[in-house]
Chain A
Amino acid sequence: MFDSEVLLPDLWDILGAVPVTLAMALGIFVFSTMIGSLFAMVEYRRIPLLRELVVAYKVIFKGVPMVIVIFLAYYGLPPTSRFLTSLVGIDYNGHSTPNWITLIVALTLCVSAFQAEVVKGALNSFDNGQAEAAYSLGYRKTQLFRRVMLPQVIVAAIPDLANSIMVIMKALSLGFAIEVVDIFAQSQLTAALNFYYLEAFLIAVFVYMVIAYIVTFVADRLERSLRV
């Protein structure tokens, strides 16, 4: 039944997908954190109209399953990008968009909604007394933000941000639906060649666990060195 001989070759096979998976995860993490932070600032500053749009965005992208967003992007992005580029006079064939870009766009859209909550929570955890102290001493809003708020908000957000890296890693496995090969998809493909499914997926579990361990460890260290 269980064949330990395939474990090593399978492992090499599946490890081959790790760099791509990590690179996509990192890209999505960076983009979604930037967009999510913008959203959080809109809500924190209570900017009218934009704030309602952000709330609506969050409801949509937290509510709709990611796999549906991926399919919508897969079928919707090419004509949309073709239409948009034609507006500025460029003839771009949207259907030549690589699928991994489509996947990154779709997951960035979804994860931004979650990152917005993470950053908003961190912003709200900042106690207003320090802001009052800064203002009373003559700090401007931007000085308060840069010198006092941002350093504390980043530290407060680190654990949840690290958590979302793992959410992204797992969400990437949905890329299988549009033929993007990540760790999960690679195990699927490897198994399909030699029919040792259990072995391949156990290795995938192992690889995900190692990555989760490293991410948690690094985040923990980072948080501890920054928290004072």
Chain B
Amino acid sequence: MLELKNIKLSYGSTQVLNGVDLSVKRGDVVSIIGPSGTGKTTLLKCINSLARPSSGTIAFDDVRMDYQKLDRTAIQAIRLRTAMVFQQFNVFKNMTVLQNVMDPLVVVQRKSKEEARRIALEELDRVGLSNKIDSYPSQLSGGQLQRTGIARALAVKPDVMLFDEPTSSLDPELVGEVLKVIRDVTSSGITSLLVTHEMQFARNISNRIVFMDRGVVAADGSPAEIFEASSNPRLTQFLTTEHSIQ
């Protein structure tokens, strides 16, 4: 369904992505793990062209794009089929929770207000925010902000969800409520890519784990293969460090 080939990207003279290959099947829940600064966020952003690789190709179902050519139609087509959840939430600060979720439906998908509202209320119920729909972001906790971000992403009915460290900016006591929502979402069958440092969680919800290291995919396999049977020394070292942090 989604296939990235030989993605290369550098910021100035630092090469961030060194030829990443990644393919995702419909229904896959893929967790991407790896040390900070390896390019995990950047890779997710390449998918919806928030970052622009210098070379490589992407195939998203029938949409194919070569990153060396600027193809606005393809970029927009992929953006309409994916939705991203950000580490810093990035909810619209001038809108209420409900407006945050409705706005893309009205502005981008040109749905009627009534229909947008209906869908938004449904998704907000799903993330447990029915009692906060008229609150503004400044009145919400991090966990509530992130759940707003998740509802906003779900409401556009994407084919693929992109989660970029959705719980990394949260106070520890708020991580649980967000992980619970993500677990519900991924178990509903929607194809998901999840960058995370929550190893146990990744292991439980994913059918595949991708280990990124220094701008490439260094290991790729089932949770059991990655967490128990890895022969990659960098991966073993990474898992040990992560384990001792948690």
Q: Type the 1/0 row for B67-97, where 1 means its CB is closer than 8 Å to any CB of A.
A: 0000000001001101110101111111110
Q: Please choose the segment from B29-37, B100-108, B179-187 that sits at the chain A interface, where 4 or more of its residues have CB less than 8 A away.
A: B100-108
Cβ–Cβ < 8 Å partners of A91 in chain B? none
Write the nearest CB–CB distance from B88 to chain A, whole angstroms.
Answer: 5
Cβ–Cβ < 8 Å partners of A135 in chain B? 48, 50, 79
| Cβ contact of A137, chosen from B93, B95, B104, cutoff 8 A | B104
Cβ–Cβ < 8 Å partners of B45 in chain A? 132
| Cβ contact of B90, chosen from A133, A139, A143, A155, cutoff 8 A | A133
**With A and B bound together, what is the CA distance between A136 and B45 in angstroms?**
9
B138 close to chain A: CB less than 8 A: yes
Categorize the interface residue count of chain A.
Answer: 10 to 19
**Known interface pairs A136-B82, A228-B138. Does A130 touch B90 (Cβ–Cβ under 8 Å)?**
yes
| Cβ contact of A136, chosen from B83, B95, B138, cutoff 8 A | B83
Q: List residues of A (163-210) whose CB comes within 8 Å of B's CBs.
A: none
Cβ–Cβ < 8 Å partners of B84 in chain A? 132-133, 136
Which residue of the partner chain A has the closest CB to B82?
A136
Q: List residues of A (134-165) whose CB comes within 8 Å of B's CBs.
A: 134-139, 143, 147-148, 151-152, 155
Write the nearest CB–CB distance from B172 to chain A, whole angstroms.
Answer: 22
**With A and B bound together, what is the CA distance between A135 and B82 in angstroms?**
11
**With A and B bound together, what is the CA distance between A138 and B144 in angstroms?**
23
**With A and B bound together, what is the CA distance between A129 and B50 in angstroms?**
11
Q: Is B107 in contact with A133, judged by CB distance below 8 angstroms?
A: no
Q: How many residues of chain B have a CB within 8 Å of chain A? A: 30
Q: Is B92 in contact with A136, judged by CB distance below 8 angstroms?
A: no
**With A and B bound together, what is the CA distance between A66 and B186 in angstroms?**
64
Q: Is B92 in contact with A138, judged by CB distance below 8 angstroms?
A: no
Cβ–Cβ < 8 Å partners of B96 in chain A? 228
Q: Is B94 in contact with A152, judged by CB distance below 8 angstroms?
A: yes
Cβ–Cβ < 8 Å partners of A228 in chain B? 93-94, 96, 136-138
Q: Is B93 in contact with A152, judged by CB distance below 8 angstroms?
A: yes
Q: Is A130 in contact with B48, judged by CB distance below 8 angstroms?
A: no
Cβ–Cβ < 8 Å partners of B147 in chain A? none
Write the nearest CB–CB distance from A78 to chain B, whole angstroms.
Answer: 47
**With A and B bound together, what is the CA distance between A44 and B6 in angstroms?**
34
- Looking at chain A's contact residues, is the secondary structure mostly helix, strand, loop, or mixed? helix
B156 close to chain A: CB less than 8 A: yes
Cβ–Cβ < 8 Å partners of A147 in chain B? 92, 103, 107
| Cβ contact of B104, chosen from A129, A132, A138, A151, cutoff 8 A | A138
Q: Is B90 in contact with A148, judged by CB distance below 8 angstroms?
A: no
Q: Is B48 in contact with A136, judged by CB distance below 8 angstroms?
A: yes
Cβ–Cβ < 8 Å partners of B93 in chain A? 130, 152, 228
| Cβ contact of A133, chosen from B82, B92, B94, B136, cutoff 8 A | B92
Write the nearest CB–CB distance from A52 to chain B, whole angstroms.
Answer: 24
Q: Is A129 in contact with B90, judged by CB distance below 8 angstroms?
A: yes
Q: Is B83 in contact with A148, judged by CB distance below 8 angstroms?
A: no
**With A and B bound together, what is the CA distance between A139 and B84 in angstroms?**
13
Q: Is B108 in contact with A137, judged by CB distance below 8 angstroms?
A: yes
Q: Type the 1/0 row for B132-167, where 1 means its CB is closer than 8 Å to any CB of A.
A: 000011100000000001001100100000000000
Write the nearest CB–CB distance from B170 to chain A, whole angstroms.
Answer: 16
**With A and B bound together, what is the CA distance between A132 and B48 in angstroms?**
10
Which residue of the partner chain A has the closest CB to B105?
A137
| Cβ contact of B156, chosen from A129, A137, A148, A152, cutoff 8 A | A137
**With A and B bound together, what is the CA distance between A137 and B88 in angstroms?**
16
Chosen A-B contacts, 8 in total, with CB atoms closer than 8 Å, are A132-B84, A137-B83, A137-B153, A137-B156, A138-B156, A148-B92, A228-B93, A228-B96
Q: Which 9 pairs from chain A and chain B are nearest by CB?
A: A133-B90, A129-B90, A228-B136, A151-B94, A138-B108, A137-B104, A136-B84, A138-B79, A136-B48
Given contacts A132-B45, A138-B79, A151-B94, 5 further A-B contacts (CB under 8 A): A138-B104, A147-B107, A155-B94, A228-B93, A228-B138
